[in-house]
């Protein structure tokens, strides 16, 4: 049975097409990884939590942003051993205001030293073409579904 995750694809209108907000994972493993590594803010669903409740909570934990609907379902994708559910929401934020939670990692590997790293180290508004280049390939269908809503 796959791990179930949920997230939000924040959107805003600045021209004929929407801009889409993606986040980049923090930590030393991702420092030099860019194209194909960005994601929607998302995370695992906790027991007793609805998919949408988890999506909103994960955005708050990973970015510090409180996001309210209306939320438009984008369905799900299978990513590795996860099933990721997503919703689109029009919500304009300044990426510079991102405040991520942290995760403790042993760094350097096998050193015995645990250091805190932000789960998300940055966010960016991207046009649909740039977003398609940056996002994890398994999540690309969310972008297409979202842009289709604006047509």
The pLDDT assigned to 15 comes to 85
* DSSP, res 80: T
Q: Over pLDDT 70: what percentage of the chain?
A: 99
Specify the DSSP class assigned to residue 38.
B
pLDDT digits (tens, 9 = 90+) for 115-149: 999 999 999 999 999 999 999 999 999 999 999 98
Per-residue confidence (pLDDT) for residue 116, from 0 to 100? 97
Q: What is the pTM of this model?
A: 0.95
If one counts the domains in the chain, the total is 1
Find, among 41, 55, 75, the residue nearest to 145 by Cα.
75
Cα 32–38–42 angle (5° rounding)? 130
E-strand ranges in the chain read: 3-13, 18-25, 42-44, 72-79, 82-90, 102-106, 114-118, 120-126
Nearest CA-CA partner of 87 in 101, 100, 68 = 68
Residue 37 domain boundaries: 3-150
Domain with residue 125: its CATH number is: 3.90.79.10
Binned average pLDDT, 10 residues per bin, the chain of 151 residues: 95 92 96 96 98 99 97 96 97 98 94 96 98 98 94 69
- Please enumerate in sequence order all residues whose Cβ is within 8 A of that of 108, keeping only pairs 6 or more positions apart, or say none: none
d(CA 146, CA 77): 14
37 close to 120: Cβ distance less than 8 angstroms = no
């Amino acid at each position: 049975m796959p791990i179930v995750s949920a997230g939000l694809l924040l959107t805003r209108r600045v021209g004929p097409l929407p801009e889409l907000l993606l986040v980049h994972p923090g930590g030393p493993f991702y420092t030099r990884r860019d194209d194909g590594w960005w994601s929607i803010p998302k995370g695992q669903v906790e027991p007793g939590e609805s998919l949408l409740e988890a999506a909103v909570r994960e955005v708050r934990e990973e970015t510090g942003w409180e996001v309210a609907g209306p939320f438009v379902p984008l369905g799900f994708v299978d990513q590795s051993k996860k099933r990721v559910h997503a919703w689109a929401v029009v919500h304009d934020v300044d990426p510079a205001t991102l405040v991520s939670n942290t995760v403790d990692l042993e760094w350097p590997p096998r050193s015995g030293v645990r250091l805190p790293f932000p789960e998300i180290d940055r966010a960016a508004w991207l046009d649909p073409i740039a977003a398609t280049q940056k996002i994890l390939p398994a999540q690309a269908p969310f972008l297409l579904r979202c842009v289709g809503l604006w047509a």
